[in-house]
Amino acid sequence: MNDIAPTQAERAEKLQGLGCKRKRVEDIRFTQGRGNYVDDVKLPGMLFGDFARSSHAHARIKSIDTSKALALPGVKAVLTAADLKPLKLHYMPTLAGDVAAVLADEKVLFQNQEIAFVVAEDRYIAADAIELVEVEYEALPVVVDPFQAMAPDAPILRDDIKDKMNGAHGPRKHYNHIFNWQVGDKQATDEVFKTAEVTTKDLFVYQRTHPAPLETCQCVASMDKVKGELTVWGTFQAPHVVRTVVSILSGIAEHKVHVIAPDIGGGFGNKVGVYPGYVCAIVASIVLGVPVKWVEDRMENLSTTSFARDYHMATELAATKEGKILAMRVHMLADHGAFDACANPSKLPAGFVNICTGSYDIPVAHLEVDGVYTNKATGGVAYRCSLRVTEGIYAIERAIEVLAKKLGMDSVDLRMKNLIKAEQFPYRSALGWEYDSGNYHVALQKALDAVGYPALRAEQKARREAFRRGETRELMGIGVCFFTEIVGAGPSRHCDILGVGMFDSAEIRVHPTGSIVARMGTKSQGQAHETTYAQIIATELGIPADDITIEEGDTDTAPYGLGTYGSRSTPVAGAATAMAARKIRAKAQMIAAHLLEVSEYDLEWDVDRFTVKGLPEKFKTMKEIAWAAHNNLPPGLEPGLEAVNYYDPPNMTYPFGAYFCVMDIDIDTGVAKTRRFYALDDCGTRINPMIIEGQVHGGLTEAFAIAMGQEISYDAQGNVMGASFMDFFLPTAVETPKWETDFTVTPSPHHPIGAKGVGESPNVGGVPCFSNAVNDAFAFLDAGHIQMPHDGWRLWTVAERLGLHA
Amino acid sequence: MPKVQVKMTINGREVEALVEPRTLLVHFLREQLGLTGTHIGCDTSHCGACTVDLNDMSVKSCALFAVQANGATILTIEGMAAPDGTLHALQEGFRQMHGLQCGYCTPGMIMRAHRLLKENPNPSEDEIRSGISGNLCRCTGYQNIVKSIQYAAAKINGVPYQEAAE
């Protein structure tokens, strides 16, 4: 019998567990148009809501006349701040400890701000009716430049808090100031800068951009007045938090609020927050007693529901002549728009931006962040970058290039000299983080070998000489980036959302026949959780992944969790999944011992079964144990085979990577062509290499878009420029470079399966890599730091400024 | 608003309905016929999530009124699999080559690729990239979408699929 029994390896392969390039479960419905997204939800009697929005960036509202809109046949209601005020819902709390207007109250603070919510029989009538809402404004002076926001004579933006000189994060210096946040040792850092042999100082501007998932933000709210229960379907990256917030705001008990996040068409941070559309749809459904749907259009999405970055970072490094970095000093001015609705853990007003010492052993550092209000849209979400990590890594990775040039060193040599060494882990950074694991030098060397770095520099040297001789009009740039991410928010001692610790959860139930349903507190928006969580369970429990159903997003059935953003699903809910599975395996071992009539200590785990030590023919498979768990248990053991785990991670995880970009820039057109892009990622244990590669491709494409063209800009009157796909750069298949991916594996020592998370690494590493390539192309002409985005017009302008068109 | 009668063939079935003259084809498909596989991503015809096949052309159904499609023959993502449930080569290709993540652009992308392969059964990589440049994807970076279409082309042409060296 043993001759034909499958080998251990064959049994393991059948499970499609950890490390398997398992095809995605989700694709079966998505490729057939059978996904279920929010706008697909259609309920009997459902109405449709739409917003009348401000045409001004800063104005007093003198009057709002909704009578013509209300008179339009098919219009059921028009809500304004006056209607919400008695319910105390005209403002809502933000994640950052501020409040944000749901509907503009007396004043508008940014263009396209929500003023009135029209509810009509269909979306066409609603669109007609918003045109009939008449608003009379008294224009006020506009502030769009964060550097001017705190001028002594700057216009007062937030009348509601102008006299409140203590904000959610301490004292405010000015009526347009939000917070001052400092980390590190200021005195020691200043001392080093006073005496350092070499110092650099640059202002790196990380422009305002937007996550722009292909599906916009939307919801359907349905109040059942008979049962007193509210159901909300929505594009929610964090459905459980939304339910808590809705319960607090509405006064409806949390168990009577049902929040469902169905399939989500991309999130990238855009769908973390609570927006006025959700609140208004809920209020309208409560008032009218029928379901109300709200679906924002693309212009509304780009100009109102969140933005990302808008960080202005004065970055300094101090070093020896030999290139040993001694200190880092950074001041960041953070433009958070009209309300501070930044999506960070509540205690951390600038997220994890204090990862800005990057991958380097920098003995002392000091970081200061000032947040200010301007007449721009509210938000400040992590656009695929954990939480303000990409800003911090952009600062250090640009600064290191500037320092290398000043020292006359190759920037790779400078990095090699300062990278944290393998033996230094766990490494405590000067700004307070404890990096869990890394093997940076090995990763960088592997990348250097893969791209043939010395040959690239030799080619660049030859081409620069040819350029000087007038033989070519192209500049070759080599972009380098070595980044460290910080993901998996997070340990509840640092991280909470409105007081709820940032744990996550998994609940696993094994059925009598050995199939499984498991539910988590996270919510996939394309990350393929249905595929990959099943792989973790498959390996832990020896049940084939195909026999495991993963469910998320329904707050009635899934255990409470903090959702999916900041690459936290694998580090936190993935850990919970493994831990819950291990509880089940421990119980299974007791049952197996009972069935085999041996002590449980005489058993060992073998892929999909418990085997009696030394007697491999005596075993019970997990499937057999599952059946026994429902009818043949050891005396005193409760029936069933299920477990739940709430996982509060002991630390964050720290993925890292080495990226290289080779680019040619035509100085006469400004067109930059990426010849090659190589990305080596180390995300610890790799659950599904196919999906990891896909995430890296997608993240790099977003990084390319951000570095090379994306911007949400405003004119001096606060008009938002480029809030459509005509103007906002989303690369097509034609512009998008081809990606080469590679990896090393340095498991996280504290994560149950050693996994670290990967989704955001390519954005964090990719943006500085592209920007470094552009800057490197012009570096030999002493161009100074060139700000993003590096679109053709701007690069042409750089060439013009340098006199290259003469 | 007075309604107009329209008649069209959708996924092989004759459909007759009353629509408002201003109803967009995509809303007609999604809301009146319940064919929610066709998605809306931008409302301005840039993203291609709403792409369907109309009289053997790729059209963005958010940029067309339903009345303009009167008499037309339309194929949407729901009509791609065989009646017995067998997936179309493109549907299989997108799964095999990991050509999708959130799935929102996928129906439009598959419908565009379907027409592309009808017009050019053996497209080069550049021809594929240019051929799908009216369809935006935010998740995949297109690299695996290109492979998915190459996989489908090989399958339709009855030749073994060979992944190009990177």
Quick one: what percent of chain A has pLDDT higher than 70? 100
| Together in a domain, B115 and B140 | yes
- Hey, are the CB atoms on A265 and B103 less than 8 Å from each other? yes
| Interface probe, candidates B140, B142, B146, chain A, greatest A C-beta count within 10 A | B142
| Together in a domain, B94 and B122 | yes
* Chain A residues whose beta carbon lies within 8 Å of the beta carbon of residue B142: 697, 701, 732-733, 736
| Interface probe, candidates A22, A30, A217, chain B, greatest B C-beta count within 10 A | A30
**A411-443 pLDDT tens trace:** 999 999 999 999 999 999 999 999 999 999 999
Structure tokens at A339: 């309300």
Mean pLDDT, residues A49-74 taken together = 98
- Hey, are the CB atoms on A734 and B30 less than 8 Å from each other? no
CB atoms within 10 A of CB B47: 27
> Mean pLDDT of all residues in chain A?
96
User: Which residues partner with A118 through β-bridges?
Assistant: A50, A78
Task: Supply the ipTM of this predicted assembly.
Answer: 0.98
Identify which of A391, A366, A251 has the alpha carbon closest to the alpha carbon of residue A312.
Answer: A391
| Interface probe, candidates A29, A32, A738, chain B, greatest B C-beta count within 10 A | A32
| Together in a domain, B74 and B133 | no
Catalytic-residue membership of A11: no
The region that residue A595 occupies, defined by phi over 0 for left and psi between -120 and 50 for alpha, beta otherwise, is alpha
- Hey, are the CB atoms on B100 and A31 less than 8 Å from each other? yes
Catalytic choice (A20, A495, A760, A769): A760
**A721-762 pLDDT tens trace:** 989 999 999 999 999 999 999 999 999 999 999 999 999 999
What is residue A140's predicted lDDT score, i.e. its pLDDT?
A: 98
Catalytic-residue membership of A356: no
Check if the beta carbon of residue A50 is closer than 8 Å to that of residue A79: no
**A334-378 pLDDT tens trace:** 999 999 998 888 888 999 999 999 999 999 999 999 999 999 999
- Hey, are the CB atoms on A733 and B132 less than 8 Å from each other? yes
| Together in a domain, B63 and B95 | no
Å between B63 CA and nearest CA of chain A? 14
Catalytic-residue membership of A445: no
Which positions ≥6 away from A316 have C-beta within 8 Å?
Answer: A193, A199, A200, A201, A328, A329, A330, A399
Identify which of A792, A699, A35, A270 has the alpha carbon closest to the alpha carbon of residue B77.
Answer: A35
Pair type for strands A114-120 and A107-108? unpaired
Three-state secondary structure of A37-102: EHHHCCCCCCEEEEEEECCCCCEEEEEEECHHHHHCCCEEEEECHHHHHHHCCCEEECCCCCEEEC
| Together in a domain, B10 and B57 | yes
- Hey, are the CB atoms on A214 and B41 less than 8 Å from each other? yes
The DSSP element (H or E) to which A294 belongs, if any, is: strand A292-295
A673 touches chain B (CB under 8 A): no
Q: Looking at the domain assignment, is residue B165 inside a domain?
A: no
Phi, psi at A247, each rounded to 5°:
-65, -45
- DSSP helix/strand/coil, A361: coil
| Together in a domain, B65 and B125 | no
- DSSP helix/strand/coil, A451: helix
**A241-287 pLDDT tens trace:** 999 999 998 999 999 999 999 999 999 999 998 999 999 999 999 99
- Hey, are the CB atoms on B106 and A30 less than 8 Å from each other? yes
User: Which residues partner with A52 through β-bridges?
Assistant: A116
- DSSP helix/strand/coil, A157: coil
Mean pLDDT, residues A311-320 taken together = 98
A297 touches chain B (CB under 8 A): yes
CB burial of A628-639 (b: ≥16 within 10 Å; e: otherwise) equals bbeeebeeeeee
What is residue A3's predicted lDDT score, i.e. its pLDDT?
A: 61
Catalytic choice (A237, A525, A527, A589): A237
What is residue B166's predicted lDDT score, i.e. its pLDDT?
A: 55
Å between A791 CA and nearest CA of chain B? 19
Given the structure tokens 């999604």, which residue do they identify? B30
The amino acid at B127: E
Q: What is the CA radius of gyration of chain A?
A: 28
Mean pLDDT, residues A596-619 taken together = 97
Å between B138 CA and nearest CA of chain A? 6
Q: Looking at the domain assignment, is residue B163 inside a domain?
A: no
Q: What is d(CA A322, CA A654) in angstroms, rounded to the nearest whole number?
A: 29
- Please list the ranges in chain B whose pLDDT falls under 50: none
Q: What is d(CA A698, CA A257) in angstroms, rounded to the nearest whole number?
A: 35
| Interface probe, candidates B97, B102, B140, B163, chain A, greatest A C-beta count within 10 A | B102
Q: Looking at the domain assignment, is residue B25 inside a domain?
A: yes
- DSSP helix/strand/coil, A54: coil
Q: Looking at the domain assignment, is residue B164 inside a domain?
A: no
Q: What is d(CA B111, CA B58) in angstroms, rounded to the nearest whole number?
A: 7
User: In this structure, what is the dihedral angle of CA atoms B112, B114, B119, B122, given to the nearest 10 degrees?
Assistant: 110
Which residue in chain A is spatially nearest to B36 when comparing CA positions? Answer: A40
Check if the beta carbon of residue A629 is closer than 8 Å to that of residue A641: yes
Which of B79, B114, B141 represents a domain boundary (last residue)?
Answer: B79
Phi, psi at B62, each rounded to 5°:
-85, -5
On the question of pLDDT at A16 being above 90, the answer is yes
What is residue A91's predicted lDDT score, i.e. its pLDDT?
A: 96
* Chain B residues whose beta carbon lies within 8 Å of the beta carbon of residue A702: 138
Pair type for strands A672-682 and B13-19? unpaired
Residue A412 half-sphere exposure toward CB, CA atoms < 13 A: 20
DSSP for residue B24: B
Sketch out chain A's domains with CATH numbers: 8-35+504-647 (3.30.365.10), 38-141+216-264+271-303 (3.90.1170.50), 308-489+652-801 (3.30.365.10)
Number of domains within chain B: 2
Which positions ≥6 away from A724 have C-beta within 8 Å?
Answer: A298, A299, A302, B42, B44, B46
Check if the beta carbon of residue A235 is closer than 8 Å to that of residue A219: yes
Check if the beta carbon of residue A398 is closer than 8 Å to that of residue A785: yes
Check if the beta carbon of residue A213 is closer than 8 Å to that of residue A269: no
Cα–Cα distances in Å, from A50 out to A69, A73, A174, A298, A508?
12, 16, 36, 13, 41
Provide the domain limits for residue B129. 89-157
* Chain B residues whose beta carbon lies within 8 Å of the beta carbon of residue A738: 143, 166
SS3 content of chain A, % helix, strand, coil (to 5): 30, 25, 45
Q: What is d(CA A418, CA A404) in angstroms, rounded to the nearest whole number?
A: 12
Identify which of A403, A331, A413 has the alpha carbon closest to the alpha carbon of residue A369.
Answer: A331
Task: List strand residue ranges (DSSP E) for A432-484, in order.
Answer: 434-435, 474-484
* Chain A residues whose beta carbon lies within 8 Å of the beta carbon of residue B37: 32-35
Mean pLDDT, residues A35-58 taken together = 98
- Hey, are the CB atoms on A214 and B43 less than 8 Å from each other? no
Give, to the nearest 10 degrees, the angle between helix A761-779 and helix A689-708: 40
- Hey, are the CB atoms on B37 and A527 less than 8 Å from each other? no
Pair type for strands A177-184 and A364-372? antiparallel
Given the structure tokens 């005209």, which residue do they identify? A90
Q: Which of B46, B105, B129 sits opposite A726 (nearest CB)?
A: B46
| Together in a domain, B20 and B39 | yes
A561 touches chain B (CB under 8 A): no
- A:B CB pairs within 8 Å: 175
Q: Looking at the domain assignment, is residue B14 inside a domain?
A: yes
| Together in a domain, B93 and B146 | yes
Q: Which of B78, B98, B138 sits opposite A33 (nearest CB)?
A: B78
| Together in a domain, B97 and B72 | no
User: Which residues partner with A61 through β-bridges?
Assistant: A137
Q: What is the pTM of this model?
A: 0.97
| Together in a domain, B55 and B104 | no
* Chain A residues whose beta carbon lies within 8 Å of the beta carbon of residue B36: 33, 37, 39-40
What is residue B165's predicted lDDT score, i.e. its pLDDT?
A: 61
Q: What is d(CA B134, CA A732) in angstroms, rounded to the nearest whole number?
A: 7
Mean pLDDT, residues A539-552 taken together = 98
Mean pLDDT, residues A206-228 taken together = 97
What is residue A1's predicted lDDT score, i.e. its pLDDT?
A: 46
Mean pLDDT, residues A322-343 taken together = 96
Catalytic choice (A342, A385, A661, A769): A385
Structure tokens at A146: 């964060």
Q: Which of B20, B39, B138 sits opposite A212 (nearest CB)?
A: B138
CB burial of A435-451 (b: ≥16 within 10 Å; e: otherwise) equals bbbbbbeebbebbbeeb
The residue length of chain B stands at 166
Catalytic-residue membership of A683: no
Query: Which A residues in the span 725-764 are in contact with B, Cβ-Cβ below 8 Å?
Result: 725-726, 730, 732-734, 736, 738-740
Which of B79, B102, B127 represents a domain boundary (last residue)?
Answer: B79
User: Which residues partner with A259 through β-bridges?
Assistant: A232
Q: Which of B42, B49, B103 sits opposite A30 (nearest CB)?
A: B103
Mean pLDDT, residues A561-576 taken together = 94
CATH at B73: 3.10.20.30
Question: In sequence order, which ranges of A343-433 are alpha helices (DSSP H)?
Answer: 389-407, 411-418
What is residue A498's predicted lDDT score, i.e. its pLDDT?
A: 83
Check if the beta carbon of residue A361 is closer than 8 Å to that of residue A420: yes
Check if the beta carbon of residue A206 is closer than 8 Å to that of residue A710: no
Identify which of A439, A481, A428 has the alpha carbon closest to the alpha carbon of residue A652.
Answer: A428
* Chain B residues whose beta carbon lies within 8 Å of the beta carbon of residue A37: 36, 39, 104
DSSP for residue B68: G
The region that residue A597 occupies, defined by phi over 0 for left and psi between -120 and 50 for alpha, beta otherwise, is left
Which of B79, B100, B126 represents a domain boundary (last residue)?
Answer: B79
Q: Looking at the domain assignment, is residue B162 inside a domain?
A: no
Å between B7 CA and nearest CA of chain A? 22
Q: State the burial class of residue A349 (Cβ atoms within 10 Å of its Cβ: 0-12, 13-18, 19+).
A: buried
- Hey, are the CB atoms on B106 and A732 less than 8 Å from each other? no
Mean pLDDT, residues A575-591 taken together = 98
CATH at B112: 1.10.150.120
| Together in a domain, B73 and B21 | yes
Q: Which of A42, A528, A733 sits opposite B142 (nearest CB)?
A: A733
**A668-703 pLDDT tens trace:** 999 999 999 999 999 999 999 999 999 999 999 999
The residue length of chain A stands at 806
Q: Looking at the domain assignment, is residue B68 inside a domain?
A: yes
Which residue in chain B is spatially nearest to A759 when comparing CA positions? Answer: B139
What is residue B43's predicted lDDT score, i.e. its pLDDT?
A: 85
Å between B73 CA and nearest CA of chain A? 19
Å between A145 CA and nearest CA of chain B? 29
Identify which of A249, A262, A248, A251 has the alpha carbon closest to the alpha carbon of residue A228.
Answer: A251
Given the structure tokens 């026994």, which residue do they identify? A628
Q: Which of A32, A40, A123 sits opposite B81 (nearest CB)?
A: A32
- Hey, are the CB atoms on B140 and A698 less than 8 Å from each other? yes
Q: What is d(CA A567, CA A695) in angstroms, rounded to the nearest whole number?
A: 11
Residue A774's pLDDT band, with cuts at 50, 70 and 90, is very high
Phi, psi at A230, each rounded to 5°:
-115, 130
- Hey, are the CB atoms on A734 and B76 less than 8 Å from each other? no
| Together in a domain, B73 and B18 | yes
